[in-house]
């Protein structure tokens, strides 16, 4: 499989950067404030911040170790700052000035000469020349002292072992008490003409440039607000990801806040975005366009719970709010609460305007809109706004994992109608705001929750028929829980269900291949890559990895397998002429036989299975057959395209000496282990204890039956390549068997087909040879072909 998880550079390209390169600074801060950092020149950066109380503090951070970039792109770790200096031009507005008691301070974290952890607090005003808001600052690390008053309180920095350093930024009203401001206080800092000089002024940095992966990348502002857009786009470009970037605008960092009652809540009005978010996304859009990328901005029905109005939240029947499992949690917004939906529309319009103003096509995703289902199966249809909207249809649903009666189904159908109306209103608001008809709208659906086979009626509410084509331009699907668990049957069944219900062709779909939440689970990247490649094999035009922070953290390095051949062309049609017993069928093995000097033989079987060869000339019985054969040969372009052939001597899972039809118990399929979902159809020849095993790659879809422990079972799907995929893995020790009828994949043997009607009429046999096509595992498609 064409990927590996890189841990470090090992001969890949590298370059040199100046230490303190503006692209690689970050910001961080405690809630509820917000800050962001962007680069404004090759030697300059800008921090925007908004403070909501008098205890707010942001840090502008430089790490000695690059813990955010992909290992092939990270800068080298160097904790020794001795014999080097940092100088820059400082300008600020709206923060505590340099000369104040709590003015900007450089905190240096590392170890002293004895290896003991230490922190030093360097007052920048002590090293500044100029005014408190416009100064040149020079820091010589060999002669750098912490302390407020110098030289009286000098605390010499040990510059040989530094982990990180950060500059603190606080509002002018800072007291540390936590008293809220009447409104947010906006501020900015510009640091320009950044120069690092001295013996240790330069750092090696990874500069690998991977080939085009054929895949795209997803990002999220909640994960990357602390980094510069230039840094993110550098990673995406160097790692080989394509034109489109799907960017989730988040649920916790984009909003403006305003005091209300005893708390801070999202601000309702025309300016829903805070200034740091607005500046960051403007820079992101401009740089994406310059790099040849197109952005999809994604907005979900999810909002950070601490700043969400109580009456906006979906609720279970007992009043519990619909909260995710994140810590701290986010809340799901009620699709029928007018205030919540008007707020989402305002946010969507602002982000769409950002794309439009910066010359990018407006591509807008509505991400995972649903009626939330709690982890114990309660659907959240019971907030006050929903109760009012449902009226007489409102009934109790204890759990979605139970059979639904007619009244409950009616409630779920109405919930779906209201959800579809809310997404239509959001899309229309974005289009109307821009006055443009060329806005691309997409909908993102998470299948394991809303197409759960254990809750078949939940799709009434969460995959409403109102989403059917052409409600959206693009249908986007993700199923990473199933992908990681390799529950191929559940995935294939859900894809088939959604295709039937919503009707979007493959060329109007995107697929998201999932992410790895915890670094200790990095082994999950293998099934995620498999899922991405499976989606590509189904001809999904745009496939994403979700998301960049996890790709970088685990060193996921994906590249196309340049040496692999394309999937062999196959037409899923059967040879058009009926074959009689006169047809010649030949099974061929490849055996290496060596004869020793003593006359003994040593035999090596090169093939585990035979290849079939057929002469179907005797199938020709009339001039009409000749014409049919010639047309079929031309349509296959001679031997270029394979097709199905029914072998008249061997086409059934039953052996001729096996007696009567055994139903679904003809051939062993496998033994369950509680984890494996996929089982390849095979046929056994010879003795039970040492059979020759044949892979069955082209069964007849409607003539396959499966048994488990002797009982016919459902809950499985037949995938291309003869793979049986169970919705849930069969339990430990379950004995699986199969019955099927199958064809052989063959092609014409020659690039020419000569038929002489005169000799045919005289009774002379025509030789027409077909040869079996061996299909490697990597050549098998994995899309659903039958339920």
For every residue of 406-418, which 3-state class applies, written as one string? Answer: HHHHHHHHHHHHH
Residues 50-62: tens digit of each pLDDT: 999 999 999 999 9
Task: Mean pLDDT check: name the lowest of 171-175, 268-272, 382-386, 462-466.
Answer: 268-272
Q: Tell me the Cα Rg of the chain.
A: 33
Average pLDDT over residues 747-757: 84
pTM of the model: 0.81
129 forms beta bridges with 136
Contact indicator for 49, 33 with CB cutoff of 8 Å: yes
Across 623-630, average pLDDT = 88
Answer for the pair 159, 80: CB distance below 8 angstroms, yes or no.
yes
pLDDT in tens, 262-314: 889 999 988 899 999 999 999 999 999 999 999 999 999 999 999 999 999 99
Judged against a pLDDT cut of 50, whether residue 785 lies above it is answered with no
Instruction: Read off the pLDDT of each residue in 119-126 and give the average, rounded to a whole number.
Output: 98
- In the DSSP assignment, the letter for residue 462 is H
Per-residue confidence (pLDDT) for residue 56, from 0 to 100: 97
Distance CA 308, CA 315 (A): 13
3-state helix, strand, coil in the chain (%, to 5): 25, 35, 40
- Please say if the pLDDT value at position 27 is more than 90: yes
For residue 358, is pLDDT > 90? Answer: yes
Residue ranges in 239-396 assigned as alpha helix (H):
275-290, 338-357, 384-390
Asked whether the beta carbons of 632 and 729 are under 8 A apart, the reply is: no
| C-alpha angle 202-203-209 in degrees, rounded to nearest 5 | 130
Window from 27-36, 49-58, 248-257, 642-651 with minimum mean pLDDT:
642-651
Q: Which residues pair with 705 in a beta bridge?
A: 739
Pick from 22-26, 620-624, 672-676, 683-687 the range whose average pLDDT is largest.
22-26
- The overall average pLDDT reported for the chain is 91
Taking the C-alpha atoms of residue 164 and residue 162, their distance in angstroms, rounded to an integer, is 6
- Residue 457: pLDDT band (50, 70, 90) is very high
Q: Which range (127-136, 211-220, 335-344, 755-764) has the least confidence?
A: 755-764
Closest residue by Cα to residue 745 from 721, 777, 717: 721
For 393, the token pair is 């249809």
Query: Is pLDDT of 563 > 60?
Result: no
Q: How confident is the model at residue 156 (pLDDT cuts 50, 70, 90)?
A: very high
Do the beta carbons of residue 523 and residue 556 sit within 8 Å? no
Phi, psi of 740 (to 5 degrees): -165, 160
pLDDT over 60 at 536, yes or no: yes
For 35: left if phi > 0, alpha if psi spans -120 to 50, otherwise beta; the answer is beta
- Cis check: omega of the bond before 658, within 30 degrees of 0: no
pLDDT at 9: 92
Report the percent of the chain where pLDDT is more than 70: 92
Instruction: Report strand pairing: 699-708 vs 769-772.
Output: unpaired
- Phi, psi (degrees; rounded to nearest 5) at 693: -110, 130
Tokens of 679: 């089982």
Degrees, nearest 5: CA angle 99-102-106: 85
What's the CA angle centered on 304, arms 303 and 308, to 5 degrees? 75
């Amino acid at each position: 499989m064409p990927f590996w998880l890189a841990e470090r550079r090992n001969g890949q390209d590298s370059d040199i950067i100046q230490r303190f390169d503006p692209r690689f600074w970050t910001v961080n801060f405690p809630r509820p404030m917000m800050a962001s950092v962007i680069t404004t020149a090759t030697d300059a950066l800008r921090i925007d911040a908004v403070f909501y109380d008098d205890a707010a503090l942001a840090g502008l951070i430089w790490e000695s170790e690059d813990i955010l970039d992909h290992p092939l792109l990270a800068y080298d770790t160097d904790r020794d700052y001795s014999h080097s200096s940092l100088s820059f031009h400082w300008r600020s507005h709206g923060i505590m000035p340099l000369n104040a008691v709590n003015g900007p301070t450089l905190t240096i974290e590392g170890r002293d000469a004895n290896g003991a952890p230490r922190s030093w607090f360097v007052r920048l005003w002590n090293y500044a020349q100029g005014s408190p808001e416009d100064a040149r600052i020079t820091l010589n690390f060999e002669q750098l002292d912490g302390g407020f008053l110098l030289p009286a309180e000098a605390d010499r920095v040990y510059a040989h072992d530094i982990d990180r350093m950060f500059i603190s930024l606080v509002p002018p009203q800072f007291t540390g008490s936590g008293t809220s401001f009447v409104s947010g206080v906006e501020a900015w800092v510009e640091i320009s003409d950044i120069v690092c000089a001295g013996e240790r002024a330069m750092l090696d940095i990874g500069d690998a440039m991977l080939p085009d992966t054929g895949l795209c990348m997803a990002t999220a502002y909640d994960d990357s607000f602390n980094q510069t857009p230039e840094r993110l786009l550098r990673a995406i470009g160097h790692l080989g990801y394509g034109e489109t970037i799907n960017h989730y605008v988040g649920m916790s960092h984009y909003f403006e806040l305003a005091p209300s009652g005893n708390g801070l809540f999202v601000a309702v009005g025309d300016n829903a975005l805070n200034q740091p978010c607005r500046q960051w996304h403007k820079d992101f859009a401009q740089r994406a366009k310059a790099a040849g990328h197109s952005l999809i901005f994604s907005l979900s029905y999810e909002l950070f719970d601490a700043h969400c109005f109580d009456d906006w939240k979906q609720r279970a029947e007992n009043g519990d709010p619909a909260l995710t499992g994140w810590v701290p949690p986010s809340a799901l917004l009620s699709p029928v609460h007018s205030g919540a939906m008007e707020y989402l529309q305002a946010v969507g319009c602002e982000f769409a305007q950002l794309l439009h103003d910066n010359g990018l096509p407006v591509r807008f995703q509505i991400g995972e809109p649903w009626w939330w289902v709690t982890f114990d199966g309660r659907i959240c249809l019971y907030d006050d706004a929903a109760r009012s909207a449902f009226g007489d249809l409102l009934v109790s649903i204890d759990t979605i994992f139970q059979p639904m009666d007619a009244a409950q189904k009616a409630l779920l159908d109405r919930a779906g109608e209201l959800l579809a109306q809310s997404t239509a209103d959001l899309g229309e608001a974005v289009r109307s705001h821009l006055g443009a008809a060329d806005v691309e709208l997409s909908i993102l659906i998470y299948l394991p929750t809303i197409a759960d086979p254990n809750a078949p009626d939940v799709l009434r509410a969460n995959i409403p028929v109102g989403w059917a084509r052409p409600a959206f331009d693009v249908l986007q699907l993700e199923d990473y829980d199933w992908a990681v668990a390799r529950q191929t049957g559940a995935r294939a069944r859900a894809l088939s269900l959604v295709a039937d219900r919503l009707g979007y062709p493959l060329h109007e779909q995107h697929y998201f291949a999932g992410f790895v939440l915890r670094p200790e689970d990095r082994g999950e990247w293998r099934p995620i890559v498999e899922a991405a490649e499976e989606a590509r094999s189904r001809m999904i035009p745009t496939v994403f990895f979700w998301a960049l922070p996890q790709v970088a953290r685990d060193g996921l390095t994906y590249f196309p397998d340049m040496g692999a051949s394309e999937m062999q062309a196959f037409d899923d049609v059967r040879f058009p002429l009926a074959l009689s017993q006169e047809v010649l069928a030949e099974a061929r093995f490849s055996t290496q036989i060596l004869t020793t000097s003593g006359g003994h033989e040593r035999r090596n079987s090169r093939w585990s299975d035979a290849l079939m060869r057929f002469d179907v000339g005797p199938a020709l019985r009339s001039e009409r057959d000749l014409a049919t054969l010639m047309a079929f040969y031309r349509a296959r372009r001679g031997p270029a395209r394979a097709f199905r052939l029914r072998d008249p001597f061997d086409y059934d899972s039953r052996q001729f000496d096996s007696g009567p039809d055994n139903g679904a118990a003809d051939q062993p399929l496998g033994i369950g282990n509680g984890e494996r979902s996929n089982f390849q159809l095979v046929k056994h020849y010879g003795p039970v204890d040492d059979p020759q095993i044949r892979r069955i790659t082209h069964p007849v879809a409607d003539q396959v039956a499966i048994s488990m422990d002797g009982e016919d079972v459902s809950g499985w799907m037949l995938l291309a390549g003869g793979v049986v995929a169970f919705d849930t893995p069969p339990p430990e020790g379950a004995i699986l068997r199969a019955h099927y009828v199958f064809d052989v994949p063959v092609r014409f043997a020659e690039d020419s087909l000569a038929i002489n009607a005169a000799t045919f009429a005289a009774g002379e046999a025509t030789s027409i040879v077909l040869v079996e096509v061996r299909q490697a595992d990597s050549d098998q498609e994995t899309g659903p072909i039958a339920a």
